[in-house]
Chain A
Amino acid sequence: MASVNVIEEAAKALDVAMAVADPATWTIEFENAKFFQWFPPDADDVGDARKRLPGLPLERAESRLGQGRSFAYEAEIKSGARTLTISISLKTVEVAGAPKLVIEGSNISKQKEAEYMLDSYSRLAEKNARELQREKERAEKLLLNIMPRVIYEELKDFGTTTPQRFDNTTVLMTDFVGFTEMAISQDPGAVVTELNDIFSAFDRVVELFGCERIKTIGDSYVAVSGLPEPTPDHAINIAKVALRFKRYLERRNSAHPTKWYCRIGVATGPLIGSIVGIQKYVYDIFGPAVNLAARLEALSESMQITMDAQTRELIESDFVAASRGTAELKGFGEREIFTLVSERPSGR
C-alpha cells in the first residue's frame, strides 16, 4: 500500500502534532515528529498517550470520547525558552473497521500572544477613558463656577448661548466697609483667607434659596434670583438671602477678632443674562436693576440692607421694612428707599 506510506510520510512532516492510538489502551500506534517533539516520552512509558499529554483531564476526556464525541483542551509546554500553548483535540474514528483514537495538537501561541496584548491594551484604554472622564468632570465643575448649569448645558449642546431677557429678577450686591484698608493694614493673605470663608458661606446660603451667585469683584459679591430659571419668589428669595448674610456676619463678628461689616443693596427689575467674552468667558447680568442695586448698596449704612420700592412692594407681606425717605440716585433720579429689617414671624 504505497499510498498509505505517502500519507504517513507527509504526516510526519506536518507542523501540527498528530498521533493515532488504541482507544481502549491509549497505546500510541503512530506519531509524527511534532508530536514526539512537543510531547516527548519519559524513559519508562513510551507508548501511553495518557502519560504523554500534559494536563489531560482524563475522566472528562474518556467520558466524552465514550459518547462518541470529540474532546479538546489547551496545554502549555516548554520549547526551549518559549512557553507554547497547544490546543489538543481527541476523537475516535473508524479506520478500516476498527476504532482509532486520533490526537491532534496545534500551536496557538501566537493567538494567545495577541489575546494577551489585547488584554493589555484594553486595560490601558479603559484607564485612559477613566482619566478622560475625570478630566471632563473637573472641567465641568470649573465651568459651573462661572455660569449657571442651564447656560452650561446650552453652551455644551450648541457651542454658543443666546443672551436672554428676564423680566422678573431681584439683584443683591454687597461689599465690606473699609475692606481696602483692612487688606493693606493687616496681613493680606489672612484677609483674603477670611474673605474666602465668608464668600463660601454666602455661596451656601445663595444655593439654599435657589439663587445664583453671579460673580465677586474684590470684596463685592453679586447674586440674583429669577434667572436663569424664572421664579415668582425672586424678591422673597433675595430678601431671605440678604437677612442671612447679615446674621452670618453678626455671628461671625462676635466670635472672631477681625470684624467684617457689610453693606447690602437690593433692587428689582428686568435683566439680560449672557455669556460674555470668548477666551475668558463669564456669565454676567446687565440691566438697570444691577446699577440700582449698586447705588443702594453704596447708600447703605454699615450692616444694613437697602432696597428699592419695587422689591419692598413684592415682599411687604412677609418682611418688615422701614422707609428711609427719598434719595437722589445717579441715573435714576429721586427714589424712595427702604431698609429691610426682618422677616415676619408669620411669613413664609
Chain B
Amino acid sequence: MATTIFERAGGFSAVRKIVADFYDRLLDDVTLQKYFANIDMARLIDHQTQFVSSMMGGPGEVSNDSLRKAHERLNINKADFIKLAGILRDTLEDHGLPDEAVQHIYDAVMARETFIVSKK
C-alpha cells in the first residue's frame, strides 16, 4: 500500500509543527494578518490542522463546501490567496518535506482557489 505524505513526513507530530509555524507566519504577514483579526483562535487552529493534515493525505476532512463557508465572509482576493499558498510552500520546504510532496500539496491548495477566493 502506498504511504501518504502525512505518514512519510512523520504523522501528526510533523503536522503540529508545520501548522504552528504556518500560523505564526500568516499572523506576521502584514497583508494577510487582517484576515485573522477577528477569528476565533481555537476554530482557526482546528481548521488549519485538519486542512494541512488532509492535504498531506492524513486524517481529517475539509470539504469544498466547508471551505467556501469558512472563507466567503472574509472577502479574500486572489493575490492574497496566492501569497498564502506561497507561505505554506515555504513552510513545508523549511520543515524538510521533499520537493515533490511540497509541490503536490501546493497544487492541491491551488486547486481549491474557487472555494477560498471570493473577491472578484
Contact = CB atoms under 8 A, between A and B. Distances in A.
A120 B37 CA distance: 21
A27 B50 CA distance: 47
A80 B33 CA distance: 8
A150 B16 CA distance: 44
B41 A117 contact: no
Contacts of A83: 41
Nearest to A115: B42
A116 B59 contact: no
Nearest to A123: B46
A130 to B, nearest CB: 12
Contact of B33 (A81, A116, A124): A81
B36 A81 contact: yes
Interface residues of A toward B: which range? 10 to 19
B50 A124 contact: yes
Contact of B59 (A85, A112, A124): A124
Contacts of A85: 41
B19 interface: yes
A109 B45 CA distance: 12
Contacts of B53: 124
| Residue in B16, B23, B34 with the greatest tally of chain A CB atoms within 10 Å | B16
Interface string B100-117: 000000000000000000
A248 interface: no
A81 B34 CA distance: 6
| Residue in B23, B36, B42 with the greatest tally of chain A CB atoms within 10 Å | B42
- The B interface, classified by DSSP as helix, strand, loop or mixed, is helix
A81 to B, nearest CB: 3
Given A82-B27, A124-B53, A116 B37 contact: no
B98 interface: no
B59 A119 contact: no
Given A81-B33, A125-B59, A127-B59, A113 B12 contact: no
B42 to A, nearest CB: 5
A120 B20 contact: no
B91 interface: no
B86 interface: no
B38 to A, nearest CB: 9
Interface string B17-51: 00110010001000001101100011001100110
| Residue in B20, B36, B59 with the greatest tally of chain A CB atoms within 10 Å | B59
A113 B37 contact: no
Interface residues of B toward A: which range? 10 to 19
A121 interface: yes
A145 interface: no
B69 to A, nearest CB: 18
Given A113-B41, A127-B59, A81 B27 contact: yes
B46 to A, nearest CB: 4
Contact of B46 (A80, A119, A125, A127): A119
B27 A116 contact: no
A128 interface: yes
Contact of B49 (A82, A112, A120): A120
Interface in B37-83: 37, 41-42, 45-46, 49-50, 53, 59-60
Interface of B: 12, 16, 19-20, 23, 27, 33-34, 36-37, 41-42, 45-46, 49-50, 53, 59-60
14 contacts: A81-B27, A82-B27, A112-B41, A114-B16, A114-B20, A116-B42, A116-B45, A116-B46, A117-B49, A120-B49, A121-B16, A123-B46, A124-B49, A124-B53
Given A116-B45, A121-B49, 9 more contacts: A78-B37, A80-B33, A81-B37, A82-B36, A116-B46, A117-B45, A117-B49, A119-B42, A120-B50
